Chain A
Amino acid sequence: MKILVAVKRVVDHNVRIRVRPDGKGVETTGVRMSMNPFCKHAVEAAVQLAEKGQASEIVVASIGPKASTDVILTALAMGAHRGILVETDASLETLAIAKLLAKVIEEEQPELVLLGKQAVDDDSNHVGQMLAALTERPQATFASEITLEGDRLSVTREVDYGRETIALSLPAIVTADLRLNTPRNAALPMVMKARSKPLAVRPASELAVDLAPRLIVEKISPPSERVAGSTIGSVDALAALIAADVKAMEAL
């Protein structure tokens, strides 16, 4: 089975982001970038399927500027076999991303496509679902467990009411949640080896997709800040304060 994993380069999730004073975006110069955490879980899931002998090839694709080569190399060091960078400096909307990935899927014909459930920059949580629509494949989002039996996939999903398990046939699209696995840190020899794995770079313009944005971003603004309040000295005082709050709520 061939697996395609999509990965995104984002501001590292440990960085405290700052909105630019011009309101046009967030500060990204000199800021640490890394692979979107959810994408890492998707890569790890693919590598584990390969280790079980259930996947023969893992192709990892990223859409973004040249610098996104970094995150492809990370995935190759984790165990993916080959990389594709669809290169563009434009900031693309999720529909355009899904359309580009659909083109890659058309060419590569993977049986399984794995993605992170959301990117921690735009927090959209769209691309897997959109890709499923464009390729007319079944989807399983927010996966916390995947098992493959023949060409049938059993996926446990994290949903609002708890968990649910669904079965779908391949080819399919699955998006990863955090509990799916613990992504490995590639050892140095794997990092070195990653550099010799094939990595194709293709300009996004070559894929004949309309990339024009549909929405107009008017402004990016900081949220209202919370400031530190007071410390309280005793449990009794805290109980009295909570009781007063509860009474005030009931009075409304």
Chain B
Amino acid sequence: MSVLLLADVDNGVLSPATARIVSAAAQLGPVDLFVPGPPAAAEAAASLAGVRKVMVNANSLLADSLVATLSGLAEGYTYLVSSASSQGKDVMPRLAASLDIQPVTDIIAIEGENRFTRPIYAGNALETVSDPQARHVLTFRASAFRPAAAAGPAPIEALENTIQSVVAFIAGHRTESDIPDLSTAQIVVGGGVSVGSAEGFQLIEKLGKTLGAAIGATRAAVDAGYAPNDWQVGQTGKIIAPDLYIAVGISGALQHLAGIQGAKKIIAINSDPEAPIVKIADVVLIGDLFEIVPKLTAELEKLDLDRA
């Protein structure tokens, strides 16, 4: 009952989500990882508990070549799994169809050997399915699982690059920052369209910095060009489960709430006491964000939380 796991590599570094997917996958059997990235990412992967072996190939990056590579390796594995990241969403359904398997994706809980729960309707319902197929293609939502611990290094095997993509990679536009990873951060500060501008978002970032927080945004803020798309939190953006989410000038549309259902505590700062977010937040401060956020940041700086 072994597992083949496609790891996520971001900018040459093993994504922090991978440790969480390893811990989910390890519940199903011994885990072999395929790392599409440099040797350093493979070494990081090899030191996670539950990993039996790491296979590394720095070259195959696009969906078609990744699928071809994984199907070449798939024989002998009962489970083919990955994170429900943009790479996992791109690759795993294609892999599943090429093997004539119906996948189960975005899993938030493993209920039994082949029973899984996943959210549907933007998280307004949870679906529990059992999968009687002989082999399984699965993706897991990273925020729903705890990271695997460190363990002695597993062996690393370099694979030759034989498969060429028919798609050409032209350019990547990375959002450069030293802000913590949004999907796995302990604290997230989110801003809505009412922040008003990209400059306005610097208020949000400054508050985030005093807390060592990641920064999130609503779709409306992304569409307005105030925040990069990879900050989007929600049904169609990133799903997060921080210990603390501070929602600044965010109405709480159901598509946004879908992304923060796993947050342990939600604090809302909003000028409208009738905003939907007020009905679900643990703590609410009613008022103008342009007055509140600078004051709050200054107060927190004084308290010197030592997280920046």
List the interface of chain A (C-beta within 8 A of B).
Answer: 11, 13, 16-17, 19, 26, 38, 93-95, 98, 117-118, 120-127, 129-134, 138-142, 144, 154, 157-169, 177-179, 213-223, 226-232, 234-236, 238-239, 241-243, 245-247, 249
Q: Does B281 contact A (CB under 8 A)?
A: yes
For this complex, 21 residue pairs linking A to B, each with C-beta atoms less than 8 Å apart, are: A94-B93, A117-B236, A124-B93, A133-B94, A139-B90, A142-B89, A144-B229, A158-B86, A158-B230, A161-B230, A162-B173, A162-B228, A164-B170, A165-B170, A165-B172, A168-B167, A221-B128, A231-B286, A232-B284, A238-B283, A239-B296
List the interface of chain B (C-beta within 8 A of A).
Answer: 8, 10-11, 62-64, 67, 85-87, 89-98, 100-106, 115, 119-133, 166-175, 183, 186-187, 211, 219, 222-223, 228-230, 235-236, 238, 243-244, 246, 254-255, 261, 265-267, 273, 278-286, 292, 295-296, 299-300, 303, 305, 307
The complex places the Cα of A223 from the Cα of B241 at a distance, in Å, of 15
Q: Is the CB of B121 within 8 A of A243?
A: no
Q: Is the CB of B172 within 8 A of A164?
A: yes
Report the nearest A residue to B222, measured CB to CB.
Answer: A179
Report the nearest A residue to B213, measured CB to CB.
Answer: A246
Q: Which of B10, B63, B90, B235 is A120 in contact with, Cβ under 8 Å?
A: B235
A98-B97, A141-B90, A159-B86 known; 16 new pairs, CB 8 Å cut-off, are A19-B125, A120-B235, A126-B93, A133-B97, A160-B85, A161-B172, A166-B62, A166-B167, A179-B222, A214-B132, A215-B133, A216-B131, A218-B115, A235-B299, A238-B283, A249-B243
Check A160/B126 contact, CB under 8 A, given A140-B167, A228-B281: no
The complex places the Cα of A158 from the Cα of B228 at a distance, in Å, of 10
- Among B129, B131, B292, the one with the most A-chain Cβ atoms within 10 Å of its Cβ is B129
Q: Is the CB of B236 within 8 A of A178?
A: yes
Q: Is the CB of A215 within 8 A of B122?
A: no
Q: Is the CB of A246 within 8 A of B211?
A: yes
- Among A134, A213, A218, the one with the most B-chain Cβ atoms within 10 Å of its Cβ is A218
Q: Which residues of B contact A140 (CB under 8 A)?
A: 167
Q: Is the CB of A231 within 8 A of B284?
A: yes
Q: Is the CB of A166 within 8 A of B187?
A: no
Q: Is the CB of A130 within 8 A of B86?
A: no
Q: Is the CB of B131 within 8 A of A161?
A: no
Shortest C-beta distance, A134 to chain B (Å), equals 6
Report the nearest A residue to B15, measured CB to CB.
Answer: A160
The complex places the Cα of A126 from the Cα of B137 at a distance, in Å, of 12
Q: Which residues of A contact B228 (CB under 8 A)?
A: 162
Q: Is the CB of A133 within 8 A of B121?
A: no
**Total A-B pairs in contact (CB under 8 Å)?**
255
Q: Which of B123, B128, B281 is A223 in contact with, Cβ under 8 Å?
A: B123
Q: Is the CB of B223 within 8 A of A178?
A: yes
Q: Which residues of B contact A242 (CB under 8 A)?
A: 211, 244, 246, 267, 296, 300
Majority secondary structure, A binding face: mixed
Check A120/B121 contact, CB under 8 A, given A235-B296, A243-B303: yes
Check A167/B167 contact, CB under 8 A, given A121-B121, A125-B105: yes
Q: Which residues of B contact A154 (CB under 8 A)?
A: 170
Q: Which of A125, A179, A230 is B89 in contact with, Cβ under 8 Å?
A: A125
Q: Which of A94, A126, A220 is B125 in contact with, Cβ under 8 Å?
A: A220
The complex places the Cα of A163 from the Cα of B231 at a distance, in Å, of 12
Q: Which residues of A contact B10 (CB under 8 A)?
A: 160-161
Report the nearest A residue to B258, measured CB to CB.
Answer: A123
Q: Which residues of A contact B284 (CB under 8 A)?
A: 228-232
Shortest C-beta distance, B223 to chain A (Å), equals 6
Q: Is the CB of B285 within 8 A of A232?
A: yes
Q: Which residues of B contact A93 (CB under 8 A)?
A: 102
The complex places the Cα of A243 from the Cα of B246 at a distance, in Å, of 13
The complex places the Cα of A95 from the Cα of B106 at a distance, in Å, of 16
Q: Is the CB of B128 within 8 A of A218?
A: yes
Shortest C-beta distance, A63 to chain B (Å), equals 16
Q: Is the CB of B174 within 8 A of A162?
A: yes
Q: Which residues of B contact A222 (CB under 8 A)?
A: 124-126
Shortest C-beta distance, B286 to chain A (Å), equals 6
The complex places the Cα of A120 from the Cα of B30 at a distance, in Å, of 34
Q: Is the CB of B166 within 8 A of A169?
A: yes
The complex places the Cα of A16 from the Cα of B169 at a distance, in Å, of 40
Q: Is the CB of A249 within 8 A of B283?
A: no
Q: Is the CB of A163 within 8 A of B63?
A: no
Q: Which residues of A contact B129 (CB under 8 A)?
A: 215-218
Q: Which residues of B contact A95 (CB under 8 A)?
A: 96-97, 100-102
The complex places the Cα of A33 from the Cα of B221 at a distance, in Å, of 27
Q: Which residues of B contact A223 (CB under 8 A)?
A: 119, 123-126, 261
